[in-house]
Amino acid sequence: MTDILNALVLLANFVLVPGLTYGSQLALGALGVTMIYAVLRFSNFGHGETMSFGAMITILTTWWLQEKGITFGVLPTALLALPVGIIATVVMCLLFDRVVYRYYRREKANPVTYLIVSVGILFILSGLVRFIIGPQDRVFADGERFIMKARAFKQMTGLDQGLAIKTTQGVTVVTAIVIVALIFWFLNRTRTGKSMRAYSDNEDLALLSGINPAKVVAITWVITGALAAIAGTLYGLDKGYKPFTYLGLVLPIFASAIVGGVGNPLGAIAGGFVVAFSELLLTFAYKRVIAYLTPGDWIPEGLVQLLSTDYKLAVSFVILVIVLLVKPTGIFSGKTL
Amino acid sequence: MSTNLRNILLFTIMGALLVAVGVIQSANVALAILNLCLISAIMTLGVNIQWGYAGLFNAGVMGFAALGGLAAVLVSFPPVPEAWAVGGSRAMLGAVTGALSIVLAILAFKMIPGGRRLRGWAAAAVALSGVVLMRFILDPAVEAIEAVEPARTGFLGGLGLPIVFSWIAGGAFAALAAWGIGKIALGLRSDYLAIATLGISEIIVYFLKNEDWLARGVKNVNGLPRPVPYEIELQKTLWVQELAAKLDFNVIELSSIIVKLSYAGLFIVVLAIVFWLSERALKSPWGRMMRAIRDNEIAASAMGKDVTWRHLQVFVLGSAVIGLAGAMLTTLDGIFTPASYQPLRFTFLIWVMVIVGGSGNNLGSILGGFAIWFFWIEAEPIGLAVIELLTSGMGEDHALRLHLIENAAHTRLATMGVVLLMVLRFSPRGLIPERGK
């Protein structure tokens, strides 16, 4: 019995907790991509850099707060700074929409043109971020480091395996749940949310019903900017902030959005977890789990690992490619917003 | 102003800019930029064949360039006999098993009767068991190979042929990969194709980074042989010393200039051949057909053109050119560093070159390659100068001034973004637009 529990704790510690955290981060990112896709109908390659921008503003505000001696007790100060990051990112998104994207909307440009435009914005943002904060690593998590320490867990349960939960992991999951609940409430219960869904479903019909397209587009950018700032900050809190990792995040995020079906918020969330858990499950070394689950003292020879951890990120690209080839409409196909 | 005159003027300005760098900074810097301009121009021509001729958005430029770099290693590096002795045959057997399992999986998908879903699962099962079998054969070989002098080799090495052959091999590698990728991905919608190729190029680079037995992974392969003489040897020769004395030049600097000029000569020949072939193709009935497919796929297929096959064809051709340029780049560097392949530099920057130069026009692609690479390098000193000028009112050690100067190098990213957006908005057809029919 203890052996089974030990095996479960081992899996929880190395797969479940990190998977839930990473999955939440991906889900929030993918929600942003999916929103833009559903309403503005293009793949926003600049989303990763938008996340990076939001995280950067949050970090700068965090430093300022810390200098003033303001902290958030056991929680990271960055949560207090996050609203500033959100506002700055939203303003930035609206500005880019006004200066750049609006023109192409009026021109009724094709999706590839939008895509190239978003690459231009990707360049501008990545330059801007590196220019302001520099390319170095930044660790800005403060407050209590752990919700649950491995040793405390061992003492509490008397098991051999420990379960550690970092504060940043807890914060990520809780924030993600709150945000997702808010988004769904907004889309399904409010008038503006419904008009957004109507616009995404059938643009012409929505226009005929008197929905103001400019407002729908603006709201979409507000939501996307907020989501990007939150996702970027949570990722940075959890894994340390480094400007160039955010470009690499674009692909797992696209993978998440596409796995669930682009344009579908529920799909984006499911996709985020599918991608996160596949990465972890395929690169986890099952050696010790098997040792616990088999009777006697037998321990498997190798690591019992399907893929070396070097290929962790490549898993999401493989999933992306497979989904695009086998079922490009994703798991929840046919439904949008 | 006639188009020709305008083009000549644009290229003259470009040349003048390079000469100006030669005068202001140094001839060595100018020639280093020129060499990379030439390689960028070839890469841009490759992307232009895909995008400009046929409207295919290939966001996997990085992967094809990396395959070209791999070719440079595999062709030119001398073989490592010890590694071949301990694991060569087993590694080859493993590779053949892998290839066979792919072929069998495709055959399973095509031959087994039944629904698409059933055949899909069957193919996946065949492929998966093939992978397991391959790992079983390959893994011990890999371990043995990587244990052979890991600090110096630890891989199978190459063929030990002159590195110039690798340019052809690089094109062939990229073409082969493009054929496989095109077979599976070209049916996708334009923006999905971009995402898929971006993902596949990341997978290729991941593979190169982690498979040490093939090309040492992130440990890099350095000391690749050169197609041109070494500086040290040049400095010893009499004619270089005499020339240096005559020109009143430093011998070391002169030898370095001669080396760079020889590279430039080789690259110009390749660029000229690729350009000539691309122009011929564009003006041929084949080129007209490609443009017809690009402008209206449905009409072209109604006229009996096999759109899928033509797309595959143009995808393979363009990728081969990118692979060629990738091999040339590794040749110039003399070192293969898989970690240096970043999508920003190898995919998106090349795209900026194509768009700014003028998609669909080969001359425009060359100009775009030159101009964008030039500013990619020179944005740093220019940005630094601008910042120093703007902040000259502040004190020498003002914190903001120091911060801005320290991060001046990053202005080039933002500059590229602004240039791309400006061109897209105000001159969407680029510096040298596509000629009308």
- The 10s digit of each residue's pLDDT in A290-314 is 888 887 777 777 777 777 777 888 8
Contacts 24+ apart (CB under 8 A), B420-426: B420/A116, B420/A119, B420/A120, B420/A123, B420/B352, B420/B355, B420/B356, B421/A100, B421/A117, B421/A120, B421/A121, B421/A124, B423/B355, B423/B356, B424/A113, B424/A116, B424/A117, B424/A120, B424/B355, B425/A100, B425/A103
* pLDDT over threshold 90, residue A74: no
CB contact under 8 A, B185 and A254: no
Exposed e or buried b per residue across A211-247, where buried means at least 16 C-beta atoms within 10 angstroms of its C-beta: beeeebbbbbbbbbbbbbbbbbbbbbbbeebebeebb
Q: Which residues of B touch A (CB under 8 A)?
A: 57, 120, 184-185, 188-192, 194-196, 198-200, 202-203, 206-207, 209-210, 342-344, 348, 351-352, 355, 403-404, 406-407, 410-418, 420-421, 424-425
Q: Residues B64-123: pLDDT tens digits?
A: 999 999 999 999 999 888 888 888 888 888 888 888 988 888 888 888 787 777 888 888
Q: Residues B408-417: pLDDT tens digits?
A: 878 889 999 9
- Report, as an integer, the average pLDDT of A217-232: 96
Is the torsion defined by CA of B392, B398, B402, B404 positive or negative? Answer: negative
What is the C-alpha to C-alpha distance for residues A301 and B250, in angstroms, rounded to an integer? 63
Chain A interface, best mutation among B211, B410, B415, B427, by max A CB count within 10 A: B410
Q: What residue of B is the nearest CA neighbor of A45?
A: B195
- Report, as an integer, the average pLDDT of B373-389: 87
What's CA B114's distance to the chain center, in Å? 42
Of A43, A123, A314, the CB nearest to B191: A43
Q: Are A32 and A104 in contact (CB under 8 A)?
A: no
CB contact under 8 A, B196 and A112: no
* pLDDT over threshold 70, residue B159: yes
Burial of B12 (0-12, 13-18, 19+ CB in 10 A): exposed
Q: What residue of B is the nearest CA neighbor of A309?
A: B210
Structure confidence at residue A310 (pLDDT): 76
* pLDDT over threshold 60, residue B347: yes
- Domain ranges for chain B, please list them: 31-79+157-426, 80-156
Q: Are B229 and B222 in contact (CB under 8 A)?
A: no
* pLDDT over threshold 80, residue B281: yes
- Give the single-character DSSP code of B433: P
Structure confidence at residue B1 (pLDDT): 57
Q: Residues B122-143: pLDDT tens digits?
A: 888 888 888 888 888 888 888 8
Q: What residue of A is the nearest CA neighbor of B383?
A: A131
Instruction: Compute CA distances B282 → B11, B63, B286, B288, whole Å.
Output: 21, 25, 7, 7
Of A116, A311, A313, the CB nearest to B351: A116
CB contact under 8 A, B410 and A117: no
Structure confidence at residue A134 (pLDDT): 85
Of A122, A314, A326, the CB nearest to B203: A314
Q: Are A221 and A46 in contact (CB under 8 A)?
A: no
Give percent of chain B above pLDDT 90: 54
What is the C-alpha to C-alpha distance for residues A69 and B214, in angstroms, rounded to an integer? 54
CB contact under 8 A, A122 and B195: no
What is the C-alpha to C-alpha distance for residues B365 and B354, in angstroms, rounded to an integer? 5
Q: Residues B173-217: pLDDT tens digits?
A: 999 999 999 988 888 888 889 988 999 999 999 999 988 888 888
Backbone angles phi, psi at A149, to 5 degrees: -90, 150
What's CA A237's distance to the chain center, in Å? 12
Backbone angles phi, psi at A236, to 5 degrees: -65, -40
How many C-beta atoms lie closer than 10 Å to residue A257's C-beta? 35
CB contact under 8 A, A126 and B413: yes
Of B190, B355, B413, the CB nearest to A130: B413
Q: Are A288 and A306 in contact (CB under 8 A)?
A: no
Of A128, A244, A328, the CB nearest to B188: A328
Give percent of chain B above pLDDT 70: 99
Q: Are A234 and A56 in contact (CB under 8 A)?
A: no
A with B: how many residue pairs have Cβ under 8 Å apart? 131
Of A103, A131, A325, the CB nearest to B425: A103
Dihedral of CA atoms B294, B299, B304, B305 in degrees, nearest 10, equals 0
Q: What residue of A is the nearest CA neighbor of B120?
A: A326
CB contact under 8 A, A324 and B196: yes
Of B57, B199, B413, the CB nearest to A321: B199
User: pLDDT tier at B361 (50, 70, 90 boundaries)?
Assistant: very high
Longest dimension (CA), chain B: 81
* Partner residues linked to A305 by β-bridges: A285
Structure confidence at residue A304 (pLDDT): 75
Please tell me the class of the A2-326 domain: mainly alpha
Structure confidence at residue B435 (pLDDT): 79
Chain B interface, best mutation among A115, A123, A246, A306, by max B CB count within 10 A: A123
CA distance B424 to chain A (A): 8
What is the C-alpha to C-alpha distance for residues B425 and A238, in angstroms, rounded to an integer? 39
Q: What residue of B is the nearest CA neighbor of A120?
A: B417
**pLDDT mean across residues, chain B:** 90
Q: Record the pTM.
A: 0.91
- Report, as an integer, the average pLDDT of B351-379: 94
Q: Residues B419-437: pLDDT tens digits?
A: 999 999 999 999 999 876 4
Specify the higher pLDDT residue, B369 or A134: B369
Of A135, A311, A324, the CB nearest to B188: A324
What is the C-alpha to C-alpha distance for residues B212 and B19, in angstroms, rounded to an integer? 42
CB contact under 8 A, B195 and A308: no
How many C-beta atoms lie closer than 10 Å to residue B201's C-beta? 28
Nearest to A325 by CA among B396, B123, B259: B123
Amino acid identity of B338? P
CB contact under 8 A, A318 and B418: no
CB contact under 8 A, A127 and B120: no
Is the torsion defined by CA of B371, B377, B383, B384 positive or negative? Answer: negative
CB contact under 8 A, B190 and A131: no
Of B207, B348, B412, the CB nearest to A119: B348
Structure confidence at residue B201 (pLDDT): 94
SS3 B222: strand
CA distance B291 to chain A (A): 17
Residues of B in contact with A121 (CB under 8 A): 417, 421
User: pLDDT tier at A337 (50, 70, 90 boundaries)?
Assistant: low
Nearest to B331 by CA among B44, B38, B84: B38
Give percent of chain A above pLDDT 70: 99
